Amino acid sequence: MMTIEYPGEFWKDYQLLDCGNFEKLERFGNFVMARPEPKALWDKSMSDEQWNKMIHTRFHTGAGFGKAGKEDSGTWERRRKMDDQWYIRYKGEQQGLDFSLRLGLTSFKHVGVFPEQSSNWEYIYRQTSELVQKAQQTGAPRPKVLNLFAYTGAASLAAKAAGADVTHLDSVRQVVTWARGNMEKSGMDNIRWIVEDALKFARREAKRGNVYQGIILDPPAYGHGPDGEKWKLDECLNDMLKCVSSILAPQDSFMVLNLYSNGFSAVLGETMVRQNFCKDAAFKSLDCGELVLKDSFGKLLPLSVVVRLRR
């Protein structure tokens, strides 16, 4: 089944106000910012004057723009007084899905959260809650969830809020520290933190015979492990999925794959997952779709594709 999903209006701390002319205008908590957006090919719905009256800061691309691994580098132009760091809260559609995220202005136009991922947080919380409930009824161990390429940890917090034992892995130590702070601010604890190359870790887990009831993958187009390991999505993704398929529990489990690369479609992602996870194993469902943001004028901005598997 193909779906199109976007954040619900219940999320009060985020709003896509407008998008167009290769930019997006967003509100995170009390602060409004303009950032480049290559997929916003249409015209803005508001005038430049209206944007300028609202903006606290605007991101300008720098010399690295367009280079592999540095596509989003640049600088922020402050227009109005704002905090260097601030928190927003995600109080989800489902009861119990509630956590805080620290935001900040980075040199790669990111702020610490990808809002379109909220649909995945809801899915992860729902699937994990069902697994936790079943484990309680049968006396089985608490389900384990592995979050690879985990960034600042919103998906990890969604799984933890549902009651899972969570392993959070990213290759950047500063990002893992950021995620730990989000956990503490959210009143949670006991997430397992790992700074390592994702493929190397997954291969080691496969050799050890370890399995997880939930696995989340949100790989970048380009990246490096802590020891200089090179990651290029189109060259490494198939190997990663082969490996992950061997550490995902054969039943009562789920997997979420999110892809941002412009060259990857939902159908391509679904085919890769089907080939690696479904050829020799039973599964309950396999869905794919697009994660988008909907601005206040109703325009849909596509940002990533997602594939979700349940065994």
Q: Which pLDDT tens digit goes with each residue over 40-86?
A: 999 999 999 999 999 999 999 875 544 544 556 799 999 999 999 99
Residue-level pLDDT at 63? 56
Whether residues 229 and 278 fall in one domain: yes
Assign 19 a pLDDT band (cuts: 50, 70, 90). Answer: very high
- Give the chain's domain count: 2
For residue 46, is it within any domain?
yes
Final residue belonging to a domain, choices 104, 139, 157: 104
At 281 the pLDDT is: 76
Say if residue 169 is in the same domain as residue 38: no
Q: Which pLDDT value is given to residue 221?
A: 86
CB 184 within 8 Å of CB 193 = no
Same domain for 143 and 228, yes or no, is yes
Please say if the pLDDT value at position 149 is more than 80.
yes
**Domain encompassing residue 277:** 115-310
Same domain, 75 and 131: no
Q: For residues 100 and 121, state if they share a domain.
A: no
pTM for this predicted structure: 0.94
In percent, the amount of the chain with pLDDT more than 90 equals 86
Q: Are residues 151 and 231 in the same domain?
A: yes
Distance CA 77, CA 65 (A): 17
* CATH number of domain containing 78: 2.60.40.1180
The answer to whether residue 110 is domain-embedded is no
Same structural domain, 50 and 156:
no
- Using the 8-state DSSP alphabet, how is residue 76 labeled? E
| 149 shares its domain with 293 | yes
pLDDT higher than threshold 60 for residue 225: yes
pLDDT score, position 71: 55
The model's confidence at residue 39, banded by pLDDT at 50, 70 and 90, is very high
Contacts of 128 (CB under 8 A, 6+ apart): 143, 145, 158, 159, 162, 163, 164, 214
> Do 66 and 189 reside in the same domain of the chain?
no
Degrees to nearest 5, angle at CA 108 with 106 and 111: 45
Q: CATH no. for residue 305? A: 3.40.50.150
140 and 23 in a common domain: no
Lowest mean pLDDT among 43-52, 273-282, 296-305: 273-282
Question: What is residue 297's predicted lDDT score, i.e. its pLDDT?
Answer: 98
Q: Are residues 124 and 67 in the same domain?
A: no
